[in-house]
Structure 1
């Protein structure tokens, strides 16, 4: 795994993830960095309700979820996969790589663009942590401010062309995204007490 200096000398996963994301996104993609900070902030709130390892994993994945947009990481142009490949090459835990690979219903997009086989190399855990990452991403706007799931989907459609694979994939994964958001909202309402 990448080594970091300063306050991350102990290699706390969320801290190391924040440093990595800032290095890759802040200068080149300030808007994406603002969104990432917002997603990570939401993840930090949810992490308090999870077992410690799951909480750390969620926050680290939230920081790293969009690093694949950085130009130096682009291999396929599919940011989930490019980010996951970068992390895997640098020794990040497999679970974090897989969460980054599969965030926001990536499977449907991968099928549309012919990368389902490559994405399949990363396991989609389809559990509470994955749901929470999707929730954080799908309820945080491009500027890092919270927004409803419905507004986020509308914003995504407005920002991208109708033939964009991400928009086209909504027909296949929109209900899956909505279900992950609903399950996480229930978990939050119950104060983390309810089982999946």
Structure 2
């Protein structure tokens, strides 16, 4: 961490680029980083997301579940099929690589003629506007990681930058480096009224 202190400030390190010049705030809604525990032996392998990003992820997953639930088992299985064909073949006839076969997306009567992807996108937008999921600031430990102890952080900030990450580390240490969830949810006015896809499409890069 000392080696990367000029880039990350000294409290944490990462393999990702932080505070990239010219990068829109909408692309700075999450970050992976590492920092030592108070015992100086534990390595926290952390992912931090903004409340906005957590909200979008929750709406995205909920829309997928609801869309999938509208299909029969056979229809859902058909949506999951991936077929490949040889892409490169050696002079001796050995297949060196494969490519995914593009298939025509199926349209469904229960989706009013929309495809699975179109219905998923439609429901996601509706959920964001009409039935927004509840998001809490939180710290959640994950001991399944091979390197260090996993830590999932949700923080109500406009952008994930060095200040936000340092704030999260300080708060995590103050609560005793344990699981925690805020008593009150993030205020609705702090969360988006459009889906992540819609918001990203509005950016002209």
TM-score category of the 2 structures, normalised to the smaller one? under 0.3
Q: Which has the higher contact order (CA 8 A, sep 6+)?
A: 2
TM-score, length-normalised on structure 2? Answer: 0.23
Structure showing greater Rg: 2
TM-score, length-normalised on structure 1? Answer: 0.24
The structure with the greater share of residues assigned to strand is: 2
